Each structure stands twice: as structure tokens, then as C-alpha cells.
């Protein structure tokens, strides 16, 4: 007889056996007991948290042959329950949307949905990874999902709810399966070890639960792997030989060293992480996710719902989160994200990673550019005497226009005779607008030596000298010739 893996052997068969999803199990049981079973359910959550198991349990509760009506406690012994548990029941159809993505598959489903079930009360369609369906397949499913036949129930499961159209979500009751806490997974592993007659150290079970990242199936797969290596007993030494340290322990070590400005310790922790087989790009993802968790705890508090980790872990994370302020977290995340992008196109990814870690650990030795500029301004104000007030330029003008206006306005009268000769537009006097500053002879003398003003004066003088002969020649032409000529434009060769 072939070996059956632990993930299948200890799969939940009833609502009470589901690990870590008690609120959802209670809601579904109450719906069955009160006769309020919806025609469409949408289960969403990360991998290995019980979505497909819950869908099969619901199908067994609706079609258990040992009861005269849907029951909250299926027997798991009748022909229908056994067939549903193995995925072989003719009235409970499990569809893998990843391999049945087209419109034709959904059209076939719609045509079969009109047929009555062979022996059960309901025909149940379980569509796993429903987000993989094409847009046309979703559109073909809409009407049937909204108004199915009374004997049809739909249960959709997905790990990427954002890819499911809103029109599909609005036609279903949505249940979010949360990541299972590490201590609950550890208790589940302890019960399995006792049933299997296995001796396992408590520290090993906790490390397996932590490494599973909220997935019960991943935890059972790791336990299977350890049993294959050493079936007699599970010790910490065996665990370290077969499975590298989890990334959360290494990230903890890195940022503990960074908080202490211990660049050497941070580099040693990084070396352990990379020697375990992780790439720099992948480990950057772990570091960024860890920093995001610390930032949310620091900004929103330890009890925030934005962080989905176990209660015991939150305490440890809160202690580390207090070592940095919010702007520092923003800076570190930005630096690591830049590192993650750069290592894709570089042959020196290890050097870039080491440099980034050293930069994080020595960040206290670098000054912010804003602080340096503010300090420089303060020093200049203390060392220099009081300077005369400079006329302010209107904020409505851009920088270049304001600079040119300020320079021309301070030019001598000889250089701006054309401007002075024109009468100023008559405007209403506003009491809140200060009068223009009075220009002194010293101001005119300084302005006359301005290179910009000198270039403008030379350009204007040269243009005027070239225009005068042409104007005298054109004045002799008859009026009819002047009317036939096209309008000319005077272009001044101002220096850029």
C-alpha cells in the first residue's frame, strides 16, 4: 500500500476539525441549521489555510445521506461523504480553473448545471483558483452564478481575490481565511506527533509552525520531510541539518545588529541567509516585508489589525520596532527596494547587498542634506553682517523671468530709455501694495557693470543701427508697394 502524506491523512473532515478558522466554520454551521444556505460562496486566503477542505465539508453537510436534510455534522461514512472526501462524487464537481480557463469550459458547466443531481440533494461546483478564469469565462458564468437552478450551489476558492471581478464577488458570500497563528499550528502538530507515536522536541514543533507562515499544509509537509530524515525522534540538531534557519530569525538578527550599528554582525547574518540558498533578490523581499511589519507596529501600535501575526510574535516585533522611527523605516524600505531592482541587472549582487547592509548599519554617521543646509544658513547668518533688503520678485513670474526683470529694472537710464519713455499703465492704487523701491546712483552704477545688462545694451544698439537704414529706405517706397509687402517681424538677438 502506497504511503499517504500527512497533509491528506489529517485533512479536516468536519467543521469542528478545521484548524484556525472557527468563525467561518461557525457561520456556515448556523447557515445550515437555519436553512439560509447561499447559492454562491467565495473563499479567499493564502495557500494551505483550509479553503478546499471547508468547501468539501460544506458539500458533505449538504449531501450527507445519513440525514434526511442538510446537517452540520456529516457522518463521513456514507457513500456520498466518502466520495466527496476523495473528490470522486458525481454530484460534487471540482474544477481546477488553472487548467479550465476558457469560455467553452464554463458553457459546458452551465449546460450540466440544469440537470438534476444523480443521488444527492444538491449539485455542488467547487471551482479552485477561480481567478485564473479568462474574462470571457467570467462573463459566461455571471448569469448562472446570479440565478442558478435551486439544486445548484457554487463554491469558489482563490488565493488572489484582487483578480476576481467585482461582478463575481457581488454575487457570492465572501469569507476571508486568515493565516493560522503559529501556536495553533504547533498544537496541531503536537496532536499529530502523538497519533503517529513520534517523539518531537517542543522547540522543533514551534520552529516548524513559524516556518510555515500560517499555512497548515506547509507545516505538515515540513513535518513529513523531517520524518523521512529521522523517523525515531525530532531534535533541534536534526532540524538544523535538514532545514536552514527560517528567514524571520535571520531578518531579526540583521535588524538587531542594524539597531546597534553593528555592521559586522549584520553582515554575518546576511552571509548565513545567502549561504542557505536564498538569492539576494528573494531575501530583499523578506527584509522589506519584515520592515513593513515593524513600520506598521511602530506607527499604528502593537494591537493593529494591519499586521497578521501571532500574539507572541507581536510582542517581540514591538520590541524591535521601537528601535527605529517612522522616517527611518521609509528610508530603509526604499534602499532595499532599490537594491532589489539593481541586483537583477548586476553581476556584483553580493557586493551591492553587503554595501546596502553596511549603509543601513552606519546610517547614524550620515547627515541629512536638509540639516546640513539649515546648519549652513545658520552659520552664514551669524558670521555675515546684515545685508540690505533685496526687492522681492512677484511669485506669479517664473524664476528666469523674475531674474531678467530684476536685472533690467536696475539698469541705468541710458540702457533702458525705450522702457522709460513709455507711459506706465494706469492702475488702481491698492493700499496694501508697497511702493517700488527708490533706486540710488550707487544702484545704477552697480547695474551698469552687470554683464547681462551690458549684453542687452549692445544687442539693442546693434539692432537699432541696422534698422535705421532699412527704415529710411522703406520710407521712400510708394504706399501701394508698402501694402503689397508682407508684415515683417523684428527679432532681437538676445544672448541665451
Rounded (10°) angle between helices 51-63 and 22-33: 20
pLDDT of residue 312: 62
pLDDT of residue 389: 44
Q: Which of 115-124, 243-252, 363-372 has the lowest mean pLDDT?
A: 363-372
Res. 3 pLDDT band, cuts 50 70 90: confident
Render pLDDT for 361-412 as a digit per residue (tens, 0 to 9): 887 665 556 666 776 777 666 665 554 444 444 444 444 444 444 444 444 4
Rounded to the nearest integer, the mean pLDDT of the chain is: 78
Res. 234 pLDDT band, cuts 50 70 90: confident
Q: What's the pTM?
A: 0.59
- What percentage of the chain exceeds 90 in pLDDT? 28
Asked if residue 94 lies in contact with residue 87, where contact means CB atoms within 8 angstroms, the answer is yes
Angle ∠(243,245,250) on CA atoms, nearest 5: 160
Q: What residue has cell string 529710411?
A: 472
pLDDT of residue 204: 84
Render pLDDT for 398-421 as a digit per residue (tens, 0 to 9): 444 444 444 444 444 444 444 444
Res. 255 pLDDT band, cuts 50 70 90: confident
pLDDT of residue 366: 59
pLDDT of residue 32: 94
> Please, which contacts does 161-167 make with residues 24 or more away whose CB atoms are closer than 8 Å?
161/42, 161/44, 161/131, 163/131, 164/42, 164/44, 164/130, 164/131, 165/135, 165/138, 167/138, 167/142
CATH class of domain segment(s) 182-242 = mainly alpha
Quote the CA–CA distance of 160 and 130 in Å, as a whole number.
Answer: 9
Quote the CA–CA distance of 306 and 292 in Å, as a whole number.
Answer: 10
Quote the CA–CA distance of 354 and 473 in Å, as a whole number.
Answer: 78
- pLDDT (mean) for 310-322: 76
What fold characterizes domain 6-177?
A: Rossmann fold (3.40.50)
Grid cell for residue 72: 452540520
Within 10 angstroms of residue 251's Cβ, the number of other Cβ atoms is: 23
Through-space distance between the first and last CA atoms of the chain, rounded to whole angstroms: 89
Q: Return the higher-pLDDT residue of 231 and 360.
A: 360
- pLDDT (mean) for 232-259: 75
Res. 269 pLDDT band, cuts 50 70 90: confident
Render pLDDT for 91-111 as a digit per residue (tens, 0 to 9): 999 998 888 888 888 888 888
- What percentage of the chain exceeds 70 in pLDDT? 71
- Sheet bearing 92-96, strands edge to edge: 92-96, 123-128, 152-158, 40-45, 173-177
Q: From the CA atom positions of the chain, what is the Rg in Å?
A: 38
- pLDDT (mean) for 172-188: 91
Res. 130 pLDDT band, cuts 50 70 90: very high
HSE-CB for 90 with a 13 A CA cutoff: 8
Q: Enumerate the β-bridge partners of residue 42.
A: 156, 174
Spatial CB neighbours of 477, under 8 Å, sequence gap ≥ 6: none
- pLDDT (mean) for 295-320: 78
Res. 464 pLDDT band, cuts 50 70 90: low
Domain ranges of the chain: 6-177, 182-242, 247-365
pLDDT of residue 202: 85
pLDDT of residue 445: 65
CATH code linked to domain 247-365: 1.20.272.10
pLDDT of residue 427: 45
Q: Is the pLDDT of residue 175 over 90?
A: yes
Q: Return the higher-pLDDT residue of 390 and 43.
A: 43
Amino acid at each position: 500500500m502506497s504511503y499517504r502524506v500527512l497533509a491528506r491523512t489529517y485533512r479536516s473532515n468536519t467543521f469542528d476539525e478545521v484548524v484556525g478558522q472557527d468563525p467561518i466554520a461557525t457561520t456556515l454551521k448556523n447557515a445550515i441549521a437555519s436553512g439560509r444556505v447561499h447559492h454562491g460562496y467565495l473563499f479567499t486566503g493564502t495557500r494551505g489555510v483550509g479553503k478546499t477542505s471547508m468547501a468539501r465539508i460544506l458539500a458533505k453537510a449538504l449531501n450527507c445521506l445519513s440525514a434526511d436534510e442538510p446537517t452540520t455534522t456529516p457522518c463521513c461514512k456514507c457513500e456520498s461523504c466518502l466520495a466527496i472526501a476523495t473528490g470522486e462524487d458525481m454530484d460534487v464537481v471540482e474544477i481546477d480553473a488553472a487548467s479550465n480557463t476558457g469560455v467553452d469550459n464554463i458553457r459546458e458547466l452551465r449546460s450540466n448545471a440544469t440537470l438534476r443531481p444523480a443521488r444527492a440533494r444538491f449539485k455542488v461546483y467547487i471551482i479552485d483558483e477561480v481567478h485564473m478564469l479568462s474574462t470571457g469565462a467570467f462573463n459566461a458564468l455571471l448569469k448562472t452564478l446570479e440565478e442558478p437552478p435551486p439544486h445548484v450551489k457554487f463554491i469558489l476558492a482563490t488565493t488572489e481575490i484582487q483578480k476576481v471581478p467585482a461582478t463575481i464577488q457581488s454575487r457570492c458570500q465572501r469569507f476571508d481565511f486568515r493565516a493560522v497563528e503559529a501556536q495553533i499550528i504547533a498544537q496541531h502538530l503536537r496532536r499529530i506527533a502523538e497519533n503517529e507515536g513520534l517523539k518531537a522536541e517542543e522547540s522543533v514543533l514551534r520552529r516548524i509552525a513559524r516556518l510555515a507562515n500560517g499555512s497548515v499544509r506547509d507545516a505538515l509537509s515540513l513535518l513529513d520531510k523531517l520524518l523521512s530524515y529521522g523517523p525515531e525522534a525530532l531534535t533541534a540538531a536534526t532540524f538544523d541539518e535538514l532545514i536552514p534557519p527560517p528567514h524571520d530569525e535571520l531578518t531579526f538578527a540583521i535588524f538587531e545588529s542594524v539597531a546597534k550599528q553593528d555592521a559586522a554582525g549584520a553582515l554575518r547574518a546576511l552571509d548565513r541567509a545567502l549561504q542557505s540558498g536564498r538569492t539576494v533578490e528573494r531575501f530583499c523581499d523578506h527584509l522589506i516585508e519584515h520592515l513593513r511589519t515593524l513600520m506598521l507596529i511602530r506607527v499604528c501600535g502593537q494591537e493593529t489589525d494591519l499586521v497578521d501575526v501571532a500574539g507572541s510574535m507581536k510582542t517581540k516585533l514591538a520590541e524591535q520596532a521601537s528601535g527605529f522611527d517612522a522616517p527611518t523605516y521609509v528610508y530603509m524600505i526604499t534602499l532595499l527596494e532599490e537594491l532589489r531592482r539593481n541586483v537583477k541587472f548586476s553581476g556584483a549582487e553580493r557586493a551591492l547587498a553587503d554595501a546596502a547592509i553596511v549603509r543601513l548599519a552606519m546610517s547614524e554617521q550620515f547627515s541629512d542634506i536638509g540639516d546640513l543646509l539649515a546648519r549652513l544658513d545658520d552659520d552664514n547668518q551669524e558670521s555675515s553682517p546684515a545685508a540690505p533688503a533685496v526687492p522681492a520678485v512677484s511669485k506669479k513670474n517664473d524664476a528666469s523671468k523674475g531674474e531678467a526683470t530684476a536685472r533690467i529694472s536696475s539698469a541705468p537710464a541710458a540702457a533702458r530709455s525705450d522702457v522709460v519713455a513709455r507711459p506706465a499703465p494706469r492702475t488702481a492704487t491698492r493700499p496694501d501694495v508697497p511702493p517700488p523701491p527708490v533706486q540710488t546712483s550707487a544702484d545704477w552704477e552697480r547695474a551698469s557693470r552687470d554683464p547681462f545688462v551690458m549684453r542687452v545694451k549692445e544687442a539693442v544698439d546693434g539692432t537699432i543701427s541696422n534698422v535705421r537704414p532699412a527704415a529710411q529706405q522703406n520710407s521712400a517706397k510708394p504706399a501701394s508697394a508698402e501694402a503689397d509687402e508682407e508684415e515683417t517681424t523684428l527679432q532681437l538677438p538676445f544672448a541665451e
